[in-house]
Amino acid sequence: MQHRKPRSPRLCLFACAILCYLSQPAVGAFQFEVMTNHAQGEGDFTDNKTNNIYATWYWTPVSAANMPLDEAGFLSQTSSLSYGYTQLESEVEPRSLIFIAPIRPPFFSPSRTHQDGGFRRAIAPSITTDLDQHQISYTHIHKPSGWFGLIRASDIQGENDSVVPTDIDGTRFRVAIGRYFTPTSTVQLYVERNDEVSKTSLSTTCSIPTFLCIGLTSRSKNEKDDLIVGLAAKHVGQLTNHHYAISGFVQHTNSEIDLSIRTVVTDNPLNLPIPPFQTTSFSLPVDDIWSAGVNATWYATRSAGISAGYTLTDTGSNQDQTYALAGHWYVRPQFVVRINLLRSHLEGIRDNIDQVGISFGARF
């Protein structure tokens, strides 16, 4: 007979806190809201997991009376300050790579290779990426005129662990200006600059002196700069007794990639006539990227709604598509639960990814 393990007191305290919170009387206005989300995706070759938390503080209390609860922040036209933290983990599963025989890449073990006609086929090691992003944004709205502006900055730190470990350091900065042309309709123009630097280092040693024995350290730096210009719009309306919301965007991305490789001789026991270091720099051509998306929400009640969305990204050589389906329910006016489903067809990496996410939010 097996004995059950005692339940964690922390779990019981958390459950009690939730029940006490849900039993509080409804409130008519709020000034602070927080949202936490967990999503997990699985594809033919790619698995990913995302956790984030997002908090917003409004300059003045926001009333949710006589409107969908989910659109209270948008319809109130109130300035706000937001902070978000995102943690992303992804893994690309091994794929078959073809190499001309009899050469075998040194980082593949013989057990992971086999002869295939005139070629040698090797299974590449998986690629694991861990990223952390901190984001802060401020939206200022001048209610009498309807004009508003947004400033958003993000910092990204992470690493890519594969054959050669890579350190990733990036920043993102967006500014936007727009206007409420009606109390429920907006249009905005935004410009975003993304800078990302990836650095790798690989060293070889000379343990037994031979004619061609040298020790080398090779450091590479990949700098990617994106300039994004886009136009976005949103409208909230009412048909009969139900509200709806529709939003969309179109944007253009211009990218530049600069790669520099510096190789330094660290060990030359035979004094071979080679330069002590060598630096190579070049730019990689990148096609312009166009993206467009639309999302529609139908509110069955003020507390619940379902959404559907579609996004198309054209890189010139490939087209990536994402389909989204979501639903939310305000269990209480100050507590919401969301379910998000995503289906992505990525031609660039020849993969299809299904993602499921669940979110919880609270207002105070």
Is the predicted pLDDT of residue 334 greater than 70, yes or no?
A: yes
SS3 98: strand
The single-letter code of the amino acid at 71 is: E
Give the model confidence (pLDDT) of 225-254 as tens digits.
999 999 999 999 998 889 999 999 999 999
Let me know if residue 227 belongs to a domain: yes
Is the predicted pLDDT of residue 163 greater than 70, yes or no?
A: no
Who has greater pLDDT, 165 or 176?
A: 176
Is the predicted pLDDT of residue 22 greater than 70, yes or no?
A: no
Quick one: tokens of 58?
């409004």
User: What pLDDT band is residue 38 in, cutting at 50, 70 and 90?
Assistant: very high
Let me know if residue 124 belongs to a domain: yes
Is the predicted pLDDT of residue 10 greater than 50, yes or no?
A: no
Residue with tokens 């639903």: 327
Q: Mean pLDDT, to the nearest integer, of 153-166? A: 85
Who has greater pLDDT, 140 or 268?
A: 140
Is the predicted pLDDT of residue 281 greater than 90, yes or no?
A: no
Percentage of residues in the chain having pLDDT higher than 90 = 53
Selection from 13-27, 194-208, 223-237 with the highest mean pLDDT: 223-237
Pairing type for strands 289-299 and 304-314 reads antiparallel
- Phi, psi dihedral angles at 72 (to 5 degrees): -60, -45
Is the predicted pLDDT of residue 2 greater than 90, yes or no?
A: no
- By the 8 A CB rule, do 243 and 296 touch? no
* pLDDT of amino acid 266: 66
Quick one: tokens of 320?
């990536």
* pLDDT of amino acid 146: 96
Structural domain that includes position 202: 30-363
Q: Which of 23-32, 84-93, 285-294 has the lowest mean pLDDT?
A: 23-32
What Rg, from alpha-carbon coordinates, does the chain have? 26
Single pTM value for the model: 0.78
- By the 8 A CB rule, do 219 and 200 touch? yes
Quick one: tokens of 308?
């559907």
Q: How many CB atoms lie within 10 A of CB 75?
A: 19
Q: Exposed/middle/buried for 139, CB within 10 Å: 0-12, 13-18, 19+? A: buried
Is the predicted pLDDT of residue 309 greater than 70, yes or no?
A: yes
Let me know if residue 6 belongs to a domain: no
- Containing 21, the helix (H) or strand (E) segment is helix 9-22
Q: Which of 44-58, 198-212, 279-293 has the lowest mean pLDDT?
A: 198-212
**Angle formed at CA 190 by CA 187 and CA 193, multiple of 5 degrees:** 165
* pLDDT of amino acid 214: 65
Q: What is the CATH number of the domain that holds 152?
A: 2.40.160.40
Number of domain units in the chain: 1
Average pLDDT, the chain: 81
Let me know if residue 287 belongs to a domain: yes
Is the predicted pLDDT of residue 170 greater than 70, yes or no?
A: yes
Q: Transcribe 30-64 into DSSP letters.
A: EEEEEEEEEEEEEESSEEEEEEEEEEEEEEEEEE-
Let me know if residue 319 belongs to a domain: yes
Q: Mean pLDDT, to the nearest integer, of 28-47? A: 91
Is the predicted pLDDT of residue 5 greater than 90, yes or no?
A: no
Let me know if residue 99 belongs to a domain: yes
Let me know if residue 108 belongs to a domain: yes
How far apart CA 319 and CA 312 sit, in angstroms, is: 7
SS3 28: coil
Let me know if residue 9 belongs to a domain: no
* pLDDT of amino acid 253: 94
User: What pLDDT band is residue 213 in, cutting at 50, 70 and 90?
Assistant: low
Give the model confidence (pLDDT) of 99-136 as tens digits.
444 444 444 444 444 444 444 445 556 778 899 999 99
How far apart CA 72 and CA 206 sit, in angstroms, is: 67
